Structure 1
Amino acid sequence: MSAEQATSVSKGVFAFKGKCKRVNEDDYVCDSKDRGRKARMTLYREIWEDLHTQIEILRSDLNCQIFDDLIAFVSGCHRHRDSPGDRSAQLLGEIPAAVLVTGVNTPDHDVMFANLESMLKSQVSPLVARVGAQDNCRISALLSDIVAQLMNVTLTSEEREDDEHDAGDLLPGEKSTAVSSSPIKLKVAPVRKRALNLTTLVKWYKKKFGAGSPCKSRSAPCSPRKRLKLEETGEANAEQLKATTNGSGVDKKPLVIIVFEDVENVNPAVFQDFISLCCSYLPSLPIVLILGIATAVTAIHQILPSAITSLLCMERFQAPPASRYLSHLMDKIVMVPDVAVKLGPKVFHFLLDTFLYHDFSILNFITAFQFCMSEHFLSNPLSVLCCGGEEVDYVTSQLSQAQLEDLRKLASFKSFVESCPPNVQSKLWSDNAVTRKYLSSALTELHQHHANLFPALRFLHCLSSALPKHPLGKQFRELYSLCLTTDVCESDSYKQAVTFLRLMSLDDLSKALAAACQALEEPSQSNEHLRPLFEEVERFVYRLGHLDEEEEQEEEKDMQQDANGVPLERILPQRTKLHELKEKLQSMSSKRRKSPYEKLREEILESLQSHLRRLITCPLTLPLHEALYFNDLAAVKEQLKAAPRCSTQRALTLPGRYLNCACCHGNEHSILPSMPDICIVYKLHLECGTLVNLYDWLQAFVTIITAAGDKGGKSKKKPQKPSTELRARFIRAVSELQFLGFIKSTRRKTDHVTRLTW
């Protein structure tokens, strides 16, 4: 049927399928006239692939310990099930339950439980079911979903819609009265949703993994187990049985593991019924529960009564906090000299504040960091310089004239040129060869500065981490954030840290220097700029450990002075006045002889400060830092900071920008007949006050719509009555505005609506 024939909506809904068009990235990125865009996007993909691999390795390493503990706990559950001599665990009637405290970073839970499910299936048992919070509306739906996952049965959307009298709600021993009235008999009976309950699971489990259950009741003796024949089970079941056998070759039935992602959002009544049913089927099914908790274990006791919690044998497992993961991520990915793309101070603080004060989500932080990288490579033509130090000469030699002109527009380049002699300034502005040579040397210096900066900052962090009040911060990211904003060695926090270091005892200073020396040992082997600091710190650590030798040298020095007949200052002169005597006594009381440790401590601090001032400077003060640092906070906020109201208003005001339609392009105040109806209605209501007259609103809408068909611009004295189609379009647009929250109905006047936004 053609589009012209489908005029009545009441007669049916017709779908007009057009040609499938693939999304072309050229339509959504910057101007195609930029020839270096493809090269920059290729460089971005290479860098991000390497970073993504490191992130996945870091994530697996961080969750490795908690997953190993969980797998060890689950593997040890029901270990006495097949031994007829020890049945004390089954007689208790408790379901083994692992309570996993995941934390409040809910966006990351899906990935965590997906990895846990795959590890459980590969290492413990193939029978694993994962339940989300949205699957807990009724007990029948919950059981159907769990049994379908365990039996590998796919349910349709119609089968997932439960009725109140579903057979899934039946207790063990009850029979369903539903009888199929279909006269057609199939060779293989289809697995209907009404059959997906725990009774069906028990029958399927016995048939697949063993003929007899260990016991039919809690006190009844066990029947002897029967081995399955590989010829009957087939190759697939044979592999599954091999995977579930112990080292002695005796068959071991696989566990039935049920994972609840978020117990706190489960319907308490449904969860209580489910635990009661599982406990009644525990002699037939080796059920193990894994319960995800976002806050604390006490949430389970708030959800379940004591009669139900007594049926669970719970053990607590604490997942690593998201803040620790963030520290590892930033130490390995963000705050390292190897990654060429760096975050500027504004973007760095924004991403950090969003994580700490908003969502606590590592996935969102990684996504934001990826967006910052892609935006940097798309918007900055000089991002092609984000390469390794060994590729600087080749990349600078391939720069075009347009890229060199963009380079000369940088603020850091202009400030550098102004500090050069006049003859050099003219060459830097006009001679491309001189500009390329300077660019190569400046980028090499910037990379070398990064190689010196991060180890020196870690050295300073190790020294100051044990100080009281933590003047330079507890985390390394706080010190790095300070370095991005100001000169660390001139800040008040640094001066306060030096003051505390001057008060440290011998043991504390020795430990701090030894820990800082270990942090500096590996980078100093490949960096000659760090080697003098490392060697000097090693000598200071040795001298602090052999302080007795320092005291002996001091005593010998004093004895030599006495033996040489050096005249000593007289405390009391022979003839003096009273005020002169008072001044003499005050000056001599202020001069106190320092101990060898105090002198050595002063020497250590002076030496360290000279090295740190040389190595630690703000990288944003160096030339050409704009090529490596992304600091466009406005672009990041526009894409990442959720502002649905502003985005909706912008879309209704400028529809051509979002629809990519030439006929809808216009400024914020223009109203075109080709615009969508809701945009026209929205712009018209902006011209009204608090109350909007519906009749006047409709007439204005009709006037704009019919203006395109009015040839010659002839106006009529009496406006015609709007057609049914125009009134329907207007009502639909007004309803959409009310749904979006721009207007609401009012009782003050029947033919008016109230405007809600300004």
Structure 2
Amino acid sequence: MTANEEAEYYVTDLCPAAARARGKSSCPRTAPGRKDHGYLLGVQEDYFSKGKNESGDSKLRFETYHLLWQEMKSETERLQEELNKNLFDSLIEFLRKCHSGFHNSSHWGYQIKLREIPTAALILGVNVTDHDLIFRSLTEAIQNNVTPYVVPLKAKDCPDIKHLLQKFVTQLTNCCGDVKSKDSVQVTQKTSCSMDSLTTWYKTVTKKTGPKMPSKKRITSSQWQPPPVVLILKDMESFSTKVLQDFIIISSQHLHEFPLILIFGIATSPIIIHRLLPHAVSSLLCIELFQSLSCKEHLTTILDKLLLTTQFPFKISEKVLQVLTNIFLYHDFSIQNFIKGLQLSLLEHFYSQPLSVLCCNLPEAKRRINFLSISQCEDIRRLPSFRRYVEKQASEKQVALLTNERFLKVETQSLLENLHVYHLNYFLVLRCLHNFTSSLPKYPLGRQIRELYCACLEKNIWDSEDYGSALQLLRMLAKDELMTILKKCFKVFNSSSETQLGSTAKKIEEFLAEFQNLDEAKEEEDASGSQSKGLQKTDLYHLQKSLLEMRELRRTSKKQSKFEILREKVVNFIDCLVREYLLPPETQPLHEVLYFSAAHTLREHLNAAPRIALHTALNNPYYYLKNEALKSEEGCIPNIAPDICIAYKLHLECSRLINLVDWSEAFATVVTAADQMDGNATTSEEKNEIIHARFIRAVSELEHLGFIRPTKQKTDHVARLTWGGC
């Protein structure tokens, strides 16, 4: 199994579109992280040790990959919880206010008297693939803090009001732990599903359960209020207008007995509510809007915590990052798909790079270096970055590095430590430069830090024209702006005590003190100047003459002020930091151990190309089936190939209109080629019928895939819809 196939095996569940384009199907039951997780770990580990990875450290590499990914995954989950915390808190506060309003004479109580259903319009954005995760977390939060009766529904499960009520009743009863109440509702479901029966069930259940609301505070029975029912419509835009109208009208009639709260999941705009619902129905909703955090801000946070840090040793190259961000920005805006692409990069790195066993925390990597085998030492010597490093050393050291394993291991430990220090300094200076350039006009180095990071990964950033333009704009900053940016940079450098940039924070602090001294000196000059100006009186002619003289003097001398001199020092200081610490990773020895750079492999798996994949599968079935008998010379059609492959190859030789009779005879000739070679030229009538049935099935499959279609021009012909190979 090749590395590409191995990565496909793992990404089948991660990227179904890529799996379909490659001729595979997603199988959720056997996907990593599902029920058979333990068994699958063993299966993955077996595949991990095949092919190019038949080495003693394949198991260790797989375990390192699995451990590192679990850490990164838990970090992403924690980040997403933090990012959604404000949204969930405001929603929960809204639900609690509605709950108390059902029983008190408050604003909400007044709205309920008017039969207005409290409704939260949750604007989530167009990243629809991430909505399920958000609603899952939201459902748990509501169940833990507000009410156990939370029902999420999708439009595909509710084609009409009958199915909506059935789904609503079924899931609502599953929220209740009382078996008797479930049985009673099951009987009700068989007879009729209506809001009347649901209201009766709700009264019965709330009377039986009593004060069992999930709350940290103890509530007495006299203070206890029956919990509301929260219905979440995940994809409100996809619901039928009639279904929504009927449900809202029916629910508003029972609102005083059945406290219902609606949550609309909206991907586009809240205007869709008024487009789907007429005024008579929308007036029955008391709507409050809630806006989720932008998916771009999510991406920035994920990149900041996973890649722009030394917490995780794994890194990706500029081209790989560009592939992932392009898919995010131009296809789906999905954070989950971006994370899965990052997981695929991590997996491919540990599969294809033998030295990825050292892609772990620094103390563990140093320990593993002592146990490297002779073949692994040779792998280190073959690294391009290490070879460039050896060429720069003295002749004696070159001989020792190429012949002495012990000396090589010691030097490798030193190089890995230098690489760790390089990353510490790199990310601090990167954040400092971003603080300076993110607010410049037209954003020459990008507005987001990922854009600046891509530019720094690609080449020496100071060699680009955009960097020169940024420095020119920095030399025009006002004092207040410059001091604000310097304070941010001081916090960045002062936050880390492990780097060699401790003196940088002191230098920035000195710059801030000098700017402060300039303010005090300027105030004294202004005070003295105002006194002298008060004594001077002149006419308009002398004033114009003095202004012209001052302009001519400035044109000839161009003497810089103290602020301009200090500003120039600050810009030069930042420029020196950039040139010293923002070197591209390719300049660092052993960067291949930590960096994944096979962007073409990632693009092949994540950027689905269905037409190319289908043509490859039908024109060359050996590519996927790996059957040696299917190997054939170009232009030949093996008779043992799948029927659809034979029919596809034959149809490529036809013009726009294909005669079905000729096509069928050619198909039968290829299929019966083996019998003719054995001397059995005549075939029975039964065999002819079987071959004819196989041909019809192959033609139907090609029509289903969109290669041909029936035509009215000729009754016994079909029209070809594609031209050329791919």
**TM-score scaled by length of structure 2:** 0.83
- Aligned twin of 2:705: 740
Deviations 1:60-105 (A, max 9, x none): 1110111111111111114243358996343211111111111111
> Matched residue of 1:317: which SS?
strand
Q: 1:149 to 1:27 in 2, by over 3 A?
A: same
* Counterpart residue type for residue 100 of structure 1: L
- Aligned twin of 2:131: 109
> Could you tell me how far 1:427 is from its partner in structure 2?
4.3
> Could you tell me how far 1:303 is from its partner in structure 2?
0.8
Deviations 1:142-188 (A, max 9, x none): 1111111112299xxxxxxxxxxxxxxxxxxxxxxxxxxxxxxx999
Deviations 1:106-145 (A, max 9, x none): 0000111111111111211111111112123111111111
Q: 1:52 to 1:658 in 2, by over 3 A?
A: same
Cα distance in 1 for partners of 2:184, 2:581 equals 81
Deviations 1:221-246 (A, max 9, x none): xxxxxxxxxxxx4xxx3573686998
Deviations 1:563-620 (A, max 9, x none): xxxxxxxxxxxxxxxxxxxxxx999963333322222222333333223322221112
Q: 1:152 to 1:552 in 2, by over 3 A?
A: closer
* Counterpart residue type for residue 76 of structure 2: I
- Aligned twin of 2:608: 642
Q: 1:88 to 1:741 in 2, by over 3 A?
A: closer
Cα distance in 1 for partners of 2:519, 2:170 equals 77
Cα distance in 2 for partners of 1:669, 1:33 equals 37
* Counterpart residue type for residue 68 of structure 2: I
Deviations 1:635-683 (A, max 9, x none): 1111111212222222223434434555545566553333322222223
- Aligned twin of 2:570: 604
**Higher helix proportion (structure 1 or 2):** 2
Equivalent residues of 1:43, 1:384 under 8 A apart? yes
* 1:341 has 2:307 as partner: no
- Aligned twin of 1:619: 585
Equivalent residues of 2:125, 2:267 under 8 A apart? yes
Cα distance in 2 for partners of 1:242, 1:411 equals 61
- Aligned twin of 1:240: 212
- Aligned twin of 1:150: 172
> Could you tell me how far 1:694 is from its partner in structure 2?
2.5
* Counterpart residue type for residue 598 of structure 1: E
* Counterpart residue type for residue 67 of structure 2: E
> Matched residue of 2:159: which SS?
coil
Counting only pairs closer than 5 Å after superposition, residues 252-401 of structure 1 correspond to structure 2 as 252-401=225-374
- Aligned twin of 2:30: none
Equivalent residues of 2:381, 2:387 under 8 A apart? yes
Cα distance in 2 for partners of 1:438, 1:188 equals 73
Cα distance in 2 for partners of 1:692, 1:188 equals 60
- Aligned twin of 2:534: none
* 1:697 has 2:663 as partner: yes
> Could you tell me how far 1:704 is from its partner in structure 2?
3.2
* 1:506 has 2:528 as partner: no
Q: 1:283 to 1:501 in 2, by over 3 A?
A: same
Stretch moving more, 507-516 or 680-689: 680-689
Stretch moving more, 536-545 or 664-673: 664-673
Equivalent residues of 1:148, 1:196 under 8 A apart? no
Cα distance in 2 for partners of 1:189, 1:137 equals 21
Equivalent residues of 1:654, 1:667 under 8 A apart? no
Stretch moving more, 615-624 or 318-327: 615-624
Equivalent residues of 1:98, 1:317 under 8 A apart? yes
* 1:77 has 2:67 as partner: no
> Matched residue of 1:692: which SS?
strand
Q: 1:134 to 1:663 in 2, by over 3 A?
A: same
Stretch moving more, 246-255 or 538-547: 246-255
Equivalent residues of 1:100, 1:318 under 8 A apart? yes
Question: Which of 448, 454, 476 pairs up with 1:481?
Answer: 454
- Aligned twin of 1:582: none
Stretch moving more, 458-467 or 679-688: 679-688
Q: 1:669 to 1:729 in 2, by over 3 A?
A: same
Equivalent residues of 1:75, 1:124 under 8 A apart? yes
Q: 1:245 to 1:97 in 2, by over 3 A?
A: farther
Equivalent residues of 1:144, 1:193 under 8 A apart? no
- Aligned twin of 1:118: 140
* Counterpart residue type for residue 78 of structure 2: I
Stretch moving more, 82-91 or 326-335: 82-91
* 1:533 has 2:498 as partner: no
Question: Which of 81, 85, 94 pairs up with 1:64?
Answer: 85
Equivalent residues of 2:438, 2:446 under 8 A apart? yes
Q: 1:193 to 1:639 in 2, by over 3 A?
A: farther
> Could you tell me how far 1:253 is from its partner in structure 2?
1.1
Counting only pairs closer than 5 Å after superposition, residues 604-753 of structure 1 correspond to structure 2 as 604-659=570-625, 661=627, 663-664=629-630, 669-710=635-676, 713-714=678-679, 716=681, 723-753=688-718
Equivalent residues of 2:166, 2:189 under 8 A apart? no
Cα distance in 2 for partners of 1:635, 1:451 equals 29
Stretch moving more, 739-748 or 344-353: 739-748
- Aligned twin of 2:4: none
- Aligned twin of 1:755: 720
> Matched residue of 2:347: which SS?
helix
Stretch moving more, 418-427 or 733-742: 418-427
Cα distance in 2 for partners of 1:187, 1:130 equals 22
Equivalent residues of 1:654, 1:668 under 8 A apart? no
**TM-score scaled by length of structure 1:** 0.80
Equivalent residues of 2:117, 2:255 under 8 A apart? yes
- Aligned twin of 1:44: 65
> Could you tell me how far 1:358 is from its partner in structure 2?
1.1
Q: 1:495 to 1:69 in 2, by over 3 A?
A: same
> Which structure 1 residue ranges, 5 or more long, are not aligned?
1-20, 155-185, 211-232, 555-584
Cα distance in 2 for partners of 1:188, 1:142 equals 16
- Aligned twin of 2:411: 438
Counting only pairs closer than 5 Å after superposition, residues 80-91 of structure 1 correspond to structure 2 as 80-83=101-104, 88-91=110-113
Stretch moving more, 456-465 or 740-749: 740-749
- Aligned twin of 1:54: 75
* Counterpart residue type for residue 679 of structure 1: C
Deviations 1:279-335 (A, max 9, x none): 111121111111111122111011111111111111111111111111111111122
Cα distance in 1 for partners of 2:374, 2:604 equals 32
Question: Which of 555, 561, 585 pairs up with 1:595?
Answer: 561
> Matched residue of 1:79: which SS?
helix
- Aligned twin of 1:96: 118
> Matched residue of 1:708: which SS?
helix
* Counterpart residue type for residue 666 of structure 2: A
Q: 1:628 to 1:424 in 2, by over 3 A?
A: same
Counting only pairs closer than 5 Å after superposition, residues 487-566 of structure 1 correspond to structure 2 as 487-523=460-496, 525-527=497-499, 529-547=500-518
- Aligned twin of 2:27: none
Stretch moving more, 294-303 or 398-407: 398-407
More RCO (CA 8 Å, sep 6+): 2
> Matched residue of 2:495: which SS?
helix
Percent same amino acid among aligned pairs? 37
> Which structure 2 residue ranges, 5 or more long, are not aligned?
1-35, 177-182, 526-550
- Aligned twin of 1:406: 379
> Matched residue of 1:240: which SS?
coil
Equivalent residues of 2:116, 2:283 under 8 A apart? yes
- Aligned twin of 2:195: 198
